[in-house]
Structure 1
Amino acid sequence: MLYPRERLLELEAERLAPYAQKGKDTQGRQYPEGESRFRTPYQKDRDRILHTTAFRRLEYKTQVFPNWAGDYYRTRLTHTLEVAQVSRSIARALGLNEDLTEAIALSHDLGHPPFGHTGEKVLHELMREHGGFEHNAQALRLLTQLEVRYPGFRGLNLTYEVLEGIATHEAAYPTGFRPEYPGQGTLEAQVVDLSDAIAYAAHDLDDGLRSGLLRPEELSEVPLLQELSKAEGLDLSRLDELSRRILVRQLLGYLITEAIEATHAKVAAAGVDSAQAVRQHPERLAALTPQGEKAHGELKAFLKERLYRHPQVLRERRRAEAVLEGLFAAYTRHPEILPREVQARIPEEGLERAVCDYLAGMTDRFALEAYRQLFP
């Protein structure tokens, strides 16, 4: 039995919740093109994202620990995959469009530069007089302009709903994306945003413990971790590898469950019966329960103080700042040393934006090697 696109769209419309974004209701693509015989529009978008150069580069971009710190720490790529897994789990429980959710999740961090959020802050400062820098806006630039994979247009020509999902991630619509339906975004996009926060809280705790920058006895400061460890019979003062994995798994399960239950309750109370009604609702509907939000906030505050501000992490940030500032100064002062394809974009984009795009696309190790070559 075959399931062509038309039948897949029918099945999707039959089984998804009324407030989900259906593939049959897509606002389409900027450039007309034929759809796949056996894939829905959002499945096609997901596949296009997976095959981009930008997606592959995420493997060598920092999450918290730089790539050279060890083989087992999360990178921007593994973070993205974990966000996709959490997003699909929540989307399935709520009757949302999993393919749209996954496409947004896989693309939500494509615009991140090397060295994580430090790199983003540095590029924003360097570009303050030239339009600034923000990773959501950069992801949109990648997917609508910078990735050139088709002869008829620049970018990937993704559906409106995927681009909307990137634009509404953690921020208002960035410059360059004009929403046809301004508002909160689809519930699928909101779920990805929430899943991002859930995933990094859990895996940053895991990486912090693995690295030794977080000591197990410190975890007793976080009420939720105390509660989960007690329920599992774990001793926070002596966490071995298996106990750490159990704790992180239970944490992730707790936050996902709280997200599903809270979002379901808010959707029911709001009475939304379409994706458009979700967009127009005055507040976001994807959320944690009050107790889940409190527990998540306490965990984030703990990680900020004990991990993100750890001297070793801060030393790596200083190195990242020096590298990006040095490269930006060198390339804007001597654009003739840039690759020819970057030089070719200067008349259209401007020198600073062309350099910024080049730097944002670098991996951590490529940026370090470029810096070593310029400043031996």
Structure 2
Amino acid sequence: MSLPSSSSSKQAGAGVITCKAAVAWAAGEALVIEEVQVSPPQPMEIRIKVVCTSLCRSDITAWLSQAPMFPRIFGHEASGIVESVGQGVTEFEEGDHVLTLFTGECKRCRHCTSGKSNICQVLGLERQGLMHSDHKTRFSIKGKSVYHYCAVSSFSEYTVVHSGCAVKISSSAPLEKICLLSCGVAAGLGAAWKVANVSEGSTVVIFGLGTVGLSVVQGAKLRGASQIIGVDTNPEKNEKAKAFGVTDLLNPNDYNEPIAQVIKRMTDGGADFAFECIGDTGMITTALQSCCDGWGLTVTLGVPKVKPEITAHYGLLLTGRTLTGSLLGGWKPKSDLPSLVNMYLNQEIKIDEYITHNMAFEDINEAFELMREGKCLRCVIHM
């Protein structure tokens, strides 16, 4: 694939690039397509021509937040082509196809070398809206700084990321599909495979049947789970859920008793594994209650919109249940994601089926509304 053309006022690789970006000026306000200036990559950074980016629920959550980091360019689930590299970068060159990484991997810190964690101490979650290296921004509009998001900011025709926050992938992988592996699909598959290690013949319950939840479903089915229970209040998701492998669908609104009691009856005392994929901390208690005594494991993946604190009766843990969290499914992003890309190319995992809408960059606000209204899984935005 040749490097896509841009609307830049200067040639690629020739310093500052002026291009289009969807800028959020305030919490919850419609994004505005603006001309932004994108600085050249600094040492150990790369500048990427974003080809496709998909909208993730956490983009919506952050966009609605009142955190004082505006103006801001959201987006983190993306694929693109390296346009230029900064000083010291040896693993990338112009023209490489890449996935962006909202949590990086330096491969040198205690966590990266431990084999026990994917939470890089150097390039982990960036919450200040600035670059890891110098705590500055690479975006501006008429001299006014624009904040980054999750060290990626893919709602821009060009973006700059640390070289540890991108991973080179096969040029044969379709960029308009594979972008989903930079967050949602990888997160769900990893939660089932790496974090929970779902076993053959086990019972699994998933709360929330969005892209992440359905990726857990896919992972559990491929591991040979005998019963996969999907819990969601939106009946429009039922057909998709069954196609991915859900064996039993539950809508809490259809019952006059706690849904955990329904699940315990269905599973002879509780599921082996429960996954909270909604971003509702109250639902974590329900997930724990839905697990069996002794070995029941609850994995939480969702990003809470409100009330981030978790409360649960100590008895749920005293009887042998376990609660754990999962970030990007436990994958070490640079080390592990290329193998998922290869699995997709070998038709061992599904990705295409999560894409419900393909949209032009100019229609990005429509994508936001579709996700807010629960009318899509993934909207892929073509830059």
Query: TM-score normalized by structure 2?
Result: 0.28
Higher helix share: 1
User: Greater relative contact order (Cα 8 A, min sep 6): structure 1 or 2?
Assistant: 1
Query: TM-score normalized by structure 1?
Result: 0.28
Higher strand share: 2
